[in-house]
């Protein structure tokens, strides 16, 4: 059993996928890139602004289901340049300051819309 999640608190899907899917006690969120949910455009050209927007998108997506970032149990962070890891880690730490989730960070060659960062999460109800 699964439920498809759609909300205006995160950017609309830009392809044939769901913003998130609930299955049992878990919410599986598609990767969020730094799109402004209102405009559908990249929120910032630089890494700090992009990481903040991505995490705000994640926050909006989980909050639309009555959850908070404290419900996130696993994240995967995709960076186009691992030299941005320290900046991402600093901002990420401000959002996940209590009992942070498990995390994987990967460098990739390119992301949708040429963004610098993408983050996907799994949250538990």
User: What integer pLDDT is reported at residue 73 of this predicted model?
Assistant: 98
User: What integer pLDDT is reported at residue 29 of this predicted model?
Assistant: 98
- Using DSSP, how many helices (H) and how many strands (E) does the chain show? 2, 6
User: What integer pLDDT is reported at residue 51 of this predicted model?
Assistant: 98
pTM: 0.96
Calculate ∠ Cα 76-78-80, nearest 5°. Answer: 170
User: What integer pLDDT is reported at residue 78 of this predicted model?
Assistant: 98
Per-chain mean pLDDT for the chain: 97
Distance of CA 11 to the CA centre of its chain: 10
User: Does domain 3-124 correspond to CATH entry 3.30.1330.40?
Assistant: yes
* Beta-bridge partner residues of 123: 27, 72
119 CB burial (10 A radius; 0-12, 13-18, 19+): buried
Residues in the chain, pLDDT under 70: none
Domain parsing of the chain, residue ranges: 3-124
For residues 67 and 63, what is the distance between their CA atoms, to the nearest angstrom? 5
């Amino acid at each position: 059993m699964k439920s498809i999640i759609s909300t205006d608190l995160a950017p609309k899907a830009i392809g044939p996928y769901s913003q998130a899917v609930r299955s049992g006690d878990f919410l599986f969120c598609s990767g969020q890139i730094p799109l402004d949910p209102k405009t559908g455009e990249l929120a910032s050209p630089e890494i700090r602004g992009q990481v903040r927007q991505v995490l705000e998108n994640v926050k909006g997506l989980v909050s639309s289901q009555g959850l908070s970032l404290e419900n996130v149990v696993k994240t995967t962070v995709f960076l186009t340049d691992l030299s941005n890891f320290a900046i991402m880690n600093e901002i990420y730490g401000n959002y996940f300051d209590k009992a942070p989730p498990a995390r994987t960070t990967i460098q990739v060659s390119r992301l949708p819309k040429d963004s610098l960062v993408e983050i996907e999460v799994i949250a538990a109800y």
